[in-house]
Chain A
């Protein structure tokens, strides 16, 4: 399992895309990384929004970023704040919310705010992969 945290360092076979995973739980990040790396994605991790931005400012990560998968629990922010936070920084990078909240109202309101998908933990590996690949396909079609 690659522990590399910089997209510039991956080599060999071509990456399917650079995905940033934001969650305050290291094991959750590890699970997402493990799941996506098996499908050829390159995964970066960050503990919270601020660290995510710091991570992306390294090297040329920001240019390569294809997708953000994020939890919506963050200090001093509500769910919508979290979305707007990323929007401000990277207006064209799609967001997938991965949360423990099985809340329909929340999901609807988030999707209305333009997120690509709302996934509830525990999410099956296949479902996570297909959500990521669909989101990235759409992105190519729309030519972000």
Chain B
């Protein structure tokens, strides 16, 4: 390998293995994917690469000959390709193929499964926070529903029965809408594709859930939205990040304060800031908050993965998550994601 900081990689094969490796390599600092090839023009990683502005081709030889390549990773599973690589590659280019590339692919898959499990664990931990808020919101209409139903059994005045039946239906509908909000939150993200997402409506949905954590607290919420702002990401994942940052913000305020949610755009980025007026994060912790398993919460209350996962999601969509904090004044998290021009 050349003595430079940058490693240029070519991927041969754009099936499952190629997709997983493309995803991994494009996230590694210091690695550039110079191109990817597959004889099948419908191979999934080709589509993915197109979106990332990585050159694609159906002719592997063209890529094998590419000058300045440090490493060719072959995940085609086609024995003829090895020969072509050996024939056409530059002498200083290394090749990873056969069993070695298979092991690499297995590692990548294992890692992504573990990530998915960690995401799930964090989600479940977050759920506990909302449980009592959700119970509260359900118990009110439930009380109305049960008490009026019992009364109707004995009630003889028809107009009263009708009036109370209408209240029962309204209460039932409220429970239904709470149930919809919850399922929205717990549904595991399936689609990984970056699509154009309406930031403001996703923020509103997240606030619907986060407000379950503000029960019995004196917390006001300010929304400053830029109209029709759209970014490229996955809506389920972005929703999860929003809920996570909002709940953190609410916790940081310990019962009193203002949560300000702002959406705007700057250059080619859509930006979302979530600001609290809480106690702030001390400097010595500020550098650690995105590290996995870092938490200041008591044992059993936090997994320490929330912010780590949030940043991983944002990075995956070519964005960034940053933080600014002042002691006794509050903390602001800023998400930036590629700006999608309005449809």
Say whether A and B bind each other: yes
Q: Indicate if the CB atoms of A31 and B137 lie closer than 8 Å.
A: no
Question: Which B residues touch A77, using CB under 8 A?
Answer: 218
A75 CB to closest chain B CB, in angstroms? 8
Per-position binary interface string of chain B over residues 91-103, scored 1 when its CB falls under 8 Å from any chain A CB and 0 otherwise: 0000000000000
Task: Tell whether, in the assembled complex, residue B140 and residue A101 are in contact, meaning their CB atoms are under 8 Å apart.
Answer: no
Query: Chain B, 170-196, contact with A by CB distance < 8 Å: what is the 0/1 string?
Result: 110000000000000000000000000
Whether, in the assembled complex, B147 has its beta carbon less than 8 Å from a beta carbon of chain A, the answer is yes
The A-B contact count (CB < 8 A) is 64
A103 at the interface (CB under 8 A from B): yes
Q: 8 Å CB contacts to B: which residues of A64-85?
A: 72-73, 75-79
Chain A residues within 8 Å of B215, by CB: 73, 101
| Cβ B146 vs Cβ A122 within 8 A | yes
Q: Are B146 and A100 in contact (CB under 8 A)?
A: no
Q: Is the CB of A28 within 8 A of B216?
A: no
The smallest C-beta distance from B156 to any residue of chain A, in angstroms, reads 12
Interface residues of B in 131-164 (CB under 8 A from A): 132, 135-140, 142-148, 150-151, 160
A99 at the interface (CB under 8 A from B): yes
Contact between A100 and B218 (Cβ–Cβ < 8 Å)?
no
Give the residue name and chain of the A residue nearest to B148 (CB).
A31
A121:B218 contact, CB within 8 angstroms: no
Closest to B145 in A: A122
Question: Given A78-B255, A100-B140, A122 and B216 touching (CB < 8 A)?
Answer: no
A34 at the interface (CB under 8 A from B): yes
Shortest A144–chain B CB gap in Å is 28
Chain A residue, CB-CB nearest to B154? A38
- Among A28, A99, A125, the residue within 8 A (CB) of B136 is A99
Sample (16) of A-B pairs whose CB atoms are under 8 Å apart: A27-B144, A30-B167, A31-B144, A34-B147, A73-B136, A78-B255, A79-B216, A101-B135, A101-B215, A102-B135, A102-B139, A103-B132, A121-B140, A122-B143, A122-B146, A125-B147
A115 at the interface (CB under 8 A from B): no
Residues of chain B lying within 8 A (CB to CB) of residue A123? 143
Asked if B147 and A73 sit within 8 Å, CB to CB, the answer is: no
B128 to chain A, nearest CB (A): 13
A100 neighbours in B (Cβ, 8 Å)? 135-140, 143
User: Closest residue to B137 on the A side, CB-wise?
Assistant: A100
Q: Which residue of A lies closest to B171 (CB)?
A: A27
* Complex contact A122–B255 (CB within 8 A): no
Cα–Cα distance between A103 and B132 once the two chains are bound (Å)? 7
Enumerate chain A residues within 8 angstroms of B138, measured Cβ to Cβ: 100
Q: Interface size bucket, B side?
A: 20 to 34
B216 and A78: CB pair below 8 A?
Answer: yes
> Would A34 and B135 count as touching, CB distance under 8 A?
no
CA gap between A75 and B215 in the complex, in Å? 11
Query: In chain B between 191 and 235, which residues have their CB closer than 8 angstroms to a CB of chain A?
Result: 215-218
> Does the CB pair B147–A25 fall under 8 Å?
no
CA distance A25 to B218 in the complex (A): 19
Residues of B within 8 A of A (CB): 132, 135-140, 142-148, 150-151, 160, 167, 170-171, 215-218, 255
Which one, A31, A79, A106, A120, contacts B139 given CB within 8 A? A120
Contact in complex: A28, B143 (CB < 8 Å) = yes
The answer, yes or no, to whether A61 is at the interface (CB within 8 Å) is no
* Bound complex: CA A63 to CA B216 (Å): 30
- Specify which of B136, B216, B217 lies most central, judged by the most chain A CB atoms within 10 Å of its CB: B216
Chain A proximity of B46: nearest CB distance (Å) = 53
Further 5 A-B residue pairs, CB within 8 A, beyond A1-B160, A72-B216: A73-B215, A73-B216, A100-B140, A100-B143, A101-B135
Q: Are B150 and A101 in contact (CB under 8 A)?
A: no
Kindly state whether residue A135 has any CB partner on chain B within 8 Å: no
Contact between chains at B136 and A78 (CB < 8 Å): no
Known A35-B147, A72-B216; judge A28-B140 contact (CB<8 A). yes
The CA of A25 and the CA of B142, in the complex, are separated in Å by 13
- Chain A residues with CB below 8 A from B255, complex form: 78
B160 CB contacts on chain A under 8 angstroms: 1
Instruction: Give the complex CA separation of A106 and B255 in angstroms.
Output: 14
Residues of B within 8 A of A34 (CB): 147, 151
Which parts of A19-50 form the interface with B (CB within 8 Å)? Answer: 25, 27-28, 30-31, 34-35
What's the nearest-Cβ distance from chain A to residue B142, in Å?
5
Report B14 CB to chain A, min CB distance, Å: 53
